[in-house]
Structure formats: structure tokens, C-alpha cells
Amino acid sequence: MRLHSLALRDFRGVKDRMVRFRALGTTVVVGDNEVGKSSLVEAFGLIFDLPDDSKSTRIRDIQPVGQDVGPQVTAELSLGGRELTYSKRWLKNRSTELTIVEPDGRRQSWTGREAHNEAERLFHENVDPVLWQTLMVSQGQSLVLPTPADAEPLITAVTAESGTPVDGASMPLVTAVEHEYLRYWTPRGKPTGDFARSAKAVAAAELSCKQAFQAMEEVQSDIRRAERLNLDLDDVTGRLTEHLTVLEALRERKQATDEILLRRDSVRSRAETARARLENHTRTRLERERLLDEVERFTKFEAELAGRRADAELVAKTAAETVQAAEAALAEVVELKDLRRTDVQAAERRVSDLMDRAELDRLVGQQTELVDVRARIAAAGTILDRIKVDDAIVAALEDARAAVVEARAALAAGVPEVTVRRLGAEPVELSGTGLEGNAPPELGFDESTEVLVSGELVVGVPGQVEVIVRAGGEAATLRARVDDAVRREKDLLKKAGVKDVAAARELLRKADTASAELNEARRTEKSLTAGGDPGERIAVLTARLGSVDEAEDVGGKQPAVEGVPGQMSLFAEFTEFASPHDTLFDDVTETGPAPADLPGAQRALDAARDGLAEAERLLKDAEFAVEQARKAADEDRSEAQNARARSELAGERLAAATEALESARSVLDDEAVTVAETEATAEVEAVLDELTAVQAQADEAGADRVADELTHALAVAKRLQDERDRLRDALRTTEGRLEQSGRDGLATRRDLAELELAAVRTEHDSLLRRAEAAQRVHETLSRHRAEAQTKYSEPLQSRIESLGRSVYGPSFRVWLDDDLAVAERELDGVRLPVEALSTGAQEQLAIITRLAISHLVSTGEGSVPVIFDDALGWSDKARLRDMGALLGRAGDHGQIIVLTCMPDRYEYVPKAMFITLDG
């Protein structure tokens, strides 16, 4: 099927629109949102699905809101070798019209319900619904990968290409094996039916038998457990009785040692109090000794700092006098440096004046040479402007001349050459068309001529004979080639303004000579103007030297430069604005005449600079001396201030120490402090002796260990009592289970379970043999069918990989599942399921798969267009370029229609036809 055009009228928001598509190639329909792009696909589906009298809500939805009009759709398409024009209008003025043009040219028409039925029949006969839905991607469905296993045209195409039947076995055999397999197994290979129930019965019987045996084993275990519990209970009871006797003895011992521990605690408390009193008296004595030491130390320190203070103040006064003397010497050196700088400036001005005069002489000569060079450049430029010939034109003329010679040679070899000679008295006349050579209209007696005939030659003897010679069909081609070659040669000669190739070569030689002369002159000009335009420098120097000459009013020296080639009277222009009162050496007292030559002026300048350097050296020494004097004065003054501050601080600290000592003596004098410490020491020694005696008595009685031994004994007694109670409870529980087991008849239950298990196992073994046989046959047949399926799916897989490698590169591979859908993709050695790919990669893979399907079925009668509505929304710039190229190549094999509001996505689709829909 190929869709040629769609026309919509009063369809949703579309008033009237006609869109034509390429029958082969890519058509991109561009339009903004809600302009009606998706309505084209919807309209094409409705025209075949619903008759014009349908009351479906789908028809009501396409009618424009608030308008009493009938939606109308007209489609032109090719279907099964026929050309169809199908038009339908719903709701208002309903109508259906179908016109079919058969392959032999016959035309048939239907209207009404007959037209709808006939169109529906042709559509279903020629269009596979699965293939149509697979290749039509609606808006928002671009990520869905197709599963085209049920598309009959695709299966036919891959079967024909692979040469392998789809089933790989006859369908009756497949059905019988499948039926027998499903009696015992589910499609996923799990037991089912009688086989599954038999397996469950065996499992239940085995469980019952196992439980019966376990119950008997538990009875035997309970008997052994009861015997062991009786023995353990007797042992624990005996050990508990012995331990309670030991515990009572420990309680009596603890009562006897508690009195010793109380007396020890009392003595220990008195010892701690006496020790604290002693530490207090010791701190008081140490503090008194510290105060006495500080008063003595600060007294000596104050006397020492007073002497240092007097020395520092004397040194600071002397340093201040030294600074004043150094500053006076510095002022004298600064005055000397100013005088030497004035001498240097005067000498520099004289040297600069003499250098400017020498530079001016050099520039005048350079300017004269530059005028000559520029004249040569102008002359060479004039010659080159008149010559229109270059290497390309000469080469073209030589090629054209060779083409003329070659064409004429081919004409001479391909047309007949006729020689005509007059032998008698009768005149011989020559005429015709397409004659090469000088053919006279008439031959004289015994005169002959040779003529190449590319058209027609008429040789006549009036009243007697006429001979016509015509060239063959190829002669006209050869003649046209000669005419074309000659015309091209004449056009090139006219363009070059020469009469022949030799003249063109001569002009080219002259152009080369002029070009060489021009390049040489330009290099000379560039060299002369490398430092700037000499004329500008001459004007500056002329103005400067003119100003100096007027200021000095020197007669008989070199006059101001005028009449320089290419210059205006810049000197006169400068002197017009110069002040008559300006002089160069107003501030300088001349010590002698200035040198008239440049070397003498340079020597005078060097001498002046040496004097200035000496003055600057003296200035640096004087500044350094002042700086050092100031620094020493600052340090001495700072040292005097520090000495004064330290002396005052020492006096303050001595006064504070004396005051603190007197305050402490007012509370307790020095002798009382020593007596109090001696008494506290004696008290501590007496209490410690008493504590030692009490501790020895406690150690002898073991008073510190009794409490721990009693706690441990109580814990052991508690553990033995808990163990005895636990053994009693376990013995009662075990004896109760044994009594209950005797009433349940467990031995009889075990025998019945063994008989039932043997019966169900016999039945299950029979079913198992039949099920395993059916499974082996099914697996063998499935394996052969899978091998056949691999062969017939290979064409589609190969086509997808071929298209995908143009986008992703040579490492691209895919794997298909049983429904021919892409299940996995490999790229650069990484294999991933489709669900793990990015959104953009899934969309690109879906598009590539549909293009591969379209390519496979494009040559068959069941082919359909590929329609993409709003696709490639998740692709980057590089992928858009590759996918665009792929869509362009796919359009060479089928019809592709793209609907989009983003035309930039498809700018890389070659040979695509773009249709823009207006709102």
C-alpha cells in the first residue's frame, strides 16, 4: 500500500486541507501543536473503519465544536496494484464514494454502503493489520518496540529470504505432541493434571510416613531423656544440701568481722582530716617564704633598673645631636646634585640637536629614493591592470586549442573525404552543407579539390548528372563537437583580448616581468618605510631644528630644511605658532662654549653625567648616614623609655610584695606558722600508727574477703536451686508425653503409612515414565523448531544490525526473542537487555526495527507506509544526524511519513520532502 494524498474538511480543528505524500521516499509534515498533524493518521484510520452512517463517539469527537457540519476525508492510495480514490463524509449530508482504476486501465465506481464494503474488503485483503499497527507509531508510542511475529507479510518475507519453513515440522504432529506434553506438564515445564496430583500424593504419603517414624523415635528419645533427668536431679539435690551448710558458716563469720571494719573506717576518717590540716599549714609556710623572697628580689631589681634608666637617657640625648648634624650635611649634598643635574640636561639637549641634524640628512636621501620606488610601483601596476591574461586563462586557451585540433582530427577520421576532378568541357558545380576545406563553387578545366563532408555535398554537371554525398549520423555529432570547440576557443580569446594562444603567452610573460618588478619595488618600499614614513619624520625634525635655531639665534649655521620632496612648508607652519620668548638654556649658567661637533658634545655629556653620578653617590651616602642616625636615635629613645617603664614597674611590684607580706604577718607571724606545721605533722603520724594496727587485725581475720565469699556462695546456691527446679519440670513433662504416646497407638500408625506410601509410589512411577517420554519428544521437536526459527529470524536480525551499524558503528548487534522483538543489544562489547537502555537508545532501536521490517516487506504486495508521529524526542545532536541519514536511506526502499512540530530534528534527512501545515 502507498498513500498518495489525504484531504480533510471540517475535521476537528481543520477547516480544509490537502496533503500529498511521496510514494517512495521520506515526507516530513511540519506543524505547530494542535495544527492537525495527528488528525491525518486518525482520519485515514476512520475512513476504512466506520461507515458514513456510524453513530460512534469517535465520529462525534471529530466534528468541530459548535458547528453543524459533516467531517469529510478523501484519500488517494495504491492498494494491491490498483489506484483508489476514496471519499467519505459523516453526520451531515452523509456520502461514500470509491473509484478504482485496475492495472489494465479499467475504472470502477461505488457509492454508499457498497463503496464502504468494497474498500474495507480490499484493505483487509491487501493490508495485514498487525504489520499496519507495527509500522504506524502514534504520538507518545515511539518508545514501544514492535513484536511483529504475527505479521503475515513479514513472516512470508523472512521465510522466502531464509529458505526455511516456519514450523520445521508438520502441524498435526506438532499439535499431537503438544497435546500429550500438556497432559503432564505446563508450558513452563512444571507438572500438571494427574501427574502433578500423583506427585503431591506421593509427597503427602512420604510426609505421613516420615511423621509416624519421627513420632516413634520421639517416644524412644523421651524414655532415654526421663532416665537421664532422674539421675541429674539426684546429683543436683545432693550438691545443693552440701552448699547450704557452707553458706551458713560464711554468714556467722561475716558477723564477727563487721565490728573490725567499722573501727578501721573511723580511724581512716580521722587520718584524712589530720592530713588535710597538715597540708593547709604547709601551704601557709610556703606562701610566707615566697613573699619574703619576692620582697628581697624586687628590692635588688629596682636599684639595678634605676642605674640603667640614667644611662639610657644620656645615650638618647647624644643620638639626637648626631641626627641634627647629619641632616645639615644632607641639605648641602642635595644642592650640589641639583647643580650637576642642570649641567647634564644642557649637555643632553646639545647632543639631541646634533643627532637630529644628522638624522635629517639621512632621511632626505631616503625620501628621494622612496619617490623613485613609488613611481616604479605605479608603472608596474598600470601594466598589470591592462593585461587580462593569467595562468588559468592561458591553460584554458591551450586546452581549447587542443580540443579544436582533436575534434577536427576526429571529424576528418569519421566523415567521408571526397575528391572531385573536372575532366571534360562541361562545368562542374559544388554546393552543400557541413563542408570542411576550401571547396570552390565551380571547378575549372582539369582542376580538382578534396572536401571533407560532415553534412551534404552536391556535385552537379548541369543538364547531365548530379551526385549527392551525405555523411552518416555520427558526422553530425563530430561536426557539433568541432563547432563547440571552436566556439569555446573564440570565447576565451575574446575574454583575454588576444588573437591567438601565442599572443596570450606573450602577454603572460610581460605580466610576469611586471609582477616581478612590482614585487621588487614593493620590497624596497617596505624596507624604506620599515621605521615609518620618512616624510613625517622629516617634518618633525625640521620643526624641532627650526625652533632650536630661532631660540639660539645662531647665524651662518645649517639653515632650516625646506623644499624636501613630498613635504609642505612645515618649518614655516611651526614658526608661526612658536613663542619668540622661548629659549633652551634660561636656567643654565654656561661655563664655556658648547661643542659644535657630535663627538665633542657626547664627551661633554659623559663628563656631566659622571659629575651627576658622583653627586648622586654622595647623596646616597648622606641619606644613608641620616637614616642610620635617625634609626639609632629612635632605638636609644625607645630603650630609654623602656628602662623608665621597667624601673617604674619594679617599684610597683616591690610595693605590692611588701604590702602582701605585712598583711600575712598581721594574721599570723613567721614563728607561729612553723609551730602550727610541726604540731600537725605529729598528729598525722599518731593517727597513721593507729590505722596500721587496725588494718593488721582486719587482714588477720580476712574481713575484706568475707563479703565477696558470701555473695558468691549465695549466687551458687541460687543457681543450684534453679537447676533443681528445671530438672523437676522437665521430668514431669517427659513423663506426661510418654503416658500420652502409650494411648495414641503410634506403632499402628507407622505400619499403615508404609503401606499407603508403597501404593501411591507405584501409581506415580507409571505416570512419571509416560510424562518423561512426552517431555523428551516435546524437547526434541522444540529444539528442531527453535533451530528453524533462528534461521527464519536471521534476515530480520541481519537487516536491523545493518541499519543500526550506520548509526552506532560496527560493534552494534541485537538478539530477537520468539516474537521477533528485539530482546537485547550489544555495543562496544557491552550486552544489555532492552529495558536497561536509556530512553533515547530505546526510541532509536524501535525506529531502526520498524525501518528494517519495512525494508523486508517493501518489495511485496503487503507493504505499508511507515508513519512516525512526534518521534526522535530523546536523541542528542549526533544521534539526530545519524538517524536522519538512516531515514533518508530507508526512504529509497519504501514510503516514510514523519509528523513533527520540531523540524530541526529532521534537518539531516537527505532528499526529504518537507510540508508545512499552517494553523
pLDDT confidence of residue 546: 67
DSSP helix/strand/coil, 46: helix
Q: 107 has which bridge partners?
A: 101
Residue 359, helix vs strand vs coil: helix
Q: Which helix (DSSP H) or strand (DSSP E) does residue 453 occupy?
A: strand 448-461
Residue owning grid cell 641619606: 623
Residue 432: strand, helix, or coil: strand
Over 70: is that where the pLDDT of 143 sits?
A: no
* 3-state class percentages of the chain: helix first, strand second, coil last, to nearest 5: 65, 15, 20
| Exposed / middle / buried, residue 870 (Cβ in 10 Å: 0-12, 13-18, 19+) | buried
Cα(915)–Cα(907) distance, integer angstroms: 13
Q: Determine the average pLDDT of the residues in 528-556.
A: 64
Statement: residue 647 has pLDDT above 90: no
Question: Are 848 and 804 contacting, i.e. CB atoms less than 8 angstroms apart?
Answer: yes
In this predicted structure, which of 485-494, 540-549, 640-649 has the lowest mean pLDDT? 540-549
Query: d(Cα 252, Cα 270) in Å, to the nearest integer?
Result: 30
The alpha carbon of 618 is separated from its chain's Cα centroid by a whole number of angstroms, namely: 69
Nearest alpha carbon to residue 883 among 26, 141, 147, 144: 26
Minimum mean pLDDT range among 323-332, 466-475, 867-876: 466-475
Edge to edge, what strands does the sheet with 895-900 contain? 136-137, 866-869, 895-900, 25-30, 913-916
pLDDT beyond 70 at 569: no
Question: Minimum mean pLDDT among 72-81, 775-784, 893-902: which range?
Answer: 775-784
Q: What is the pLDDT of residues 400-453, one digit of tens each?
A: 888 877 777 777 776 777 777 787 777 888 887 766 666 777 877 778 787 777
What percent of the chain has a predicted confidence (pLDDT) above 70? 87
Helix/strand/coil for 98:
strand
Relative to beta strand 866-869, strand 895-900 is parallel
Collect all residues with Cβ–Cβ distance below 8 Å to 730 and sequence separation of at least 6. 225, 229
Tens of pLDDT, residue by residue over 808-853, are 889 999 988 877 788 899 999 899 998 898 888 888 888 988 888 8
Q: Is 586 exposed, middle or buried (0-12, 13-18, 19+ CB in 10 A)?
A: exposed
Number of neighbours of residue 249 by Cβ within 10 angstroms:
9
Bridge partners (DSSP) of residue 658 are none
- The predicted pLDDT at position 410 comes to 76
Task: Over range 660-674, report the average pLDDT.
Answer: 80
Q: Is 532 left (phi over 0), alpha (psi -120 to 50) or beta?
A: left
* 392-400 average pLDDT score: 82
- The answer to whether residues 358 and 561 touch, using CB atoms and an 8 Å cutoff, is no
Mean pLDDT along residues 776-780? 78
Which grid cell sits at 328? Answer: 645639615
In the predicted model, what is the mean pLDDT of residues 99-122?
93
Residue 116 CB-density burial (10 A; 0-12 exposed, 13-18 middle, 19+ buried): buried
CA-angle at 732, arms to 731 and 734, nearest 5°: 65
For 687-732, write each residue's pLDDT tens digit: 888 888 888 887 877 777 877 888 888 888 888 888 888 888 888 8
pLDDT higher than threshold 70 for residue 552: no
Contact call for residues 635 and 353 (beta carbons, < 8 A): no
Question: Could you tell me the three cell numbers for 274?
Answer: 589530720
292-314: pLDDT as tens digits: 888 888 888 877 877 777 777 78
Q: What three-state secondary structure class fits 258?
A: helix
DSSP 707-750: HHHHHHHHHHHHHHHHHHHHHHHHHHHHHHHHHHHHHHTHHHHH
- Nearest 5°: phi and psi at 53? -100, 15
User: How does residue 574 score in pLDDT terms, banded at 50, 70 and 90?
Assistant: very low
Cell numbers standing for residue 833: 537487555
Residue 834: C-alpha distances to residues 143, 663, 845 (Å): 11, 97, 9
d(CA 283, CA 895): 111
Of the candidates 45, 18, 33, the residue with the CA atom closest to the CA atom of residue 867: 45
Rounded to an integer, what distance in angstroms lies between the CA atom of residue 690 and that of residue 694?
6
- Average the pLDDT over 198-223 and give the result: 81
Residue 64 DSSP one-character state: P
Q: Are 421 and 447 in contact (CB under 8 A)?
A: yes
- If residue 510 lies in a helix (H) or strand (E), which one and from where to where? helix 501-528
Give the span between the Cα atoms of 584 and 552, in whole angstroms. Answer: 8
Q: Which of 20-29, 210-219, 409-418 has the highest mean pLDDT?
A: 20-29
SS3 string, 116-137, reads: HHHHHHHHHHHCCHHHHHHHEE
Q: What percent of the chain stands above pLDDT 90?
A: 11
pLDDT (average), residues 494-521: 80
Distance of alpha carbon 420 from alpha carbon 443, whole angstroms: 9
**In 3D, which of 297, 321, 312 has the Cα closest to residue 642?**
312
Is residue 898 very low, low, confident or very high in pLDDT (cuts 50, 70, 90)?
Answer: very high
To the nearest 10 degrees (0 to 180), the angle between helices 193-386 and 703-744 is 120
Query: For residues 417 and 415, what is the distance between their CA atoms, to the nearest angstrom?
Result: 7
CA distance 584 to 594: 13
Look over the chain and give the mean of its residue pLDDT values, rounded to a whole number.
79
72-79 β-sheet, strand order: 14-20, 2-11, 72-79, 82-89, 95-101, 107-111
Say if residues 34 and 897 touch (Cβ distance below 8 Å).
Answer: no
- pLDDT at residue number 70: 93
Closest CA to 17 of 71, 63, 59, 56: 71
Alpha helices by DSSP H, 387-426: 391-414
- Residue with grid cell 578534396, as numbered in its chain: 450
More confident site: 593 or 376: 376
What residues have CB less than 8 Å from 863, skipping those under 6 apart? 1, 153, 854, 857, 894
Band (pLDDT 50/70/90 cuts) for residue 52 is very high
Cβ 887 vs Cβ 919: under 8 Å: no
